């Protein structure tokens, strides 16, 4: 179970890093928001899901 939590946290950190870099670049680039907004919204949904799943699974670890 600890390995699963560690992998979820790793995925969370990697996705957070990608979003921290990717969202400002997308917003600063002309015309990119219209092309990339679905991808960004999906990535943000996955980010929220990782937070929730990691928190729920972490409550089972003693």
Is the torsion defined by CA of 34, 39, 41, 44 positive or negative?
negative
Instruction: Give the per-residue pLDDT at 1.
Output: 85
At 4-59, the pLDDT tens digits run: 999 999 999 999 999 999 999 999 999 888 999 999 999 999 999 999 999 999 99
> pTM of the predicted model, to two decimals?
0.86
Task: State residue 30 phi and psi, 5-degree precision.
Answer: -65, 130
Cα–Cα separations (whole angstroms), residue 16 to 10, 30, 62: 10, 23, 26
DSSP secondary structure code for residue 60 in this structure? T
* Residue 44 to residue 25: CA distance in whole angstroms: 15
Superfamily of 2-58 according to CATH: Photosystem II PsbZ, reaction centre (1.10.287.740)
Position 61 scores a pLDDT of: 86
Q: Where are the domains of the chain?
A: 2-58
């Amino acid at each position: 179970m600890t390995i699963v939590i560690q992998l979820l946290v790793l995925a969370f950190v990697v996705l957070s890093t990608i979003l921290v870099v990717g969202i400002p670049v997308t917003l600063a680039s002309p015309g990119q928001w219209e092309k990339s907004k679905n991808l960004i919204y999906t990535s943000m949904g996955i980010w929220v899901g990782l937070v929730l799943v990691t928190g729920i699974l972490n409550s089972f670890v003693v």
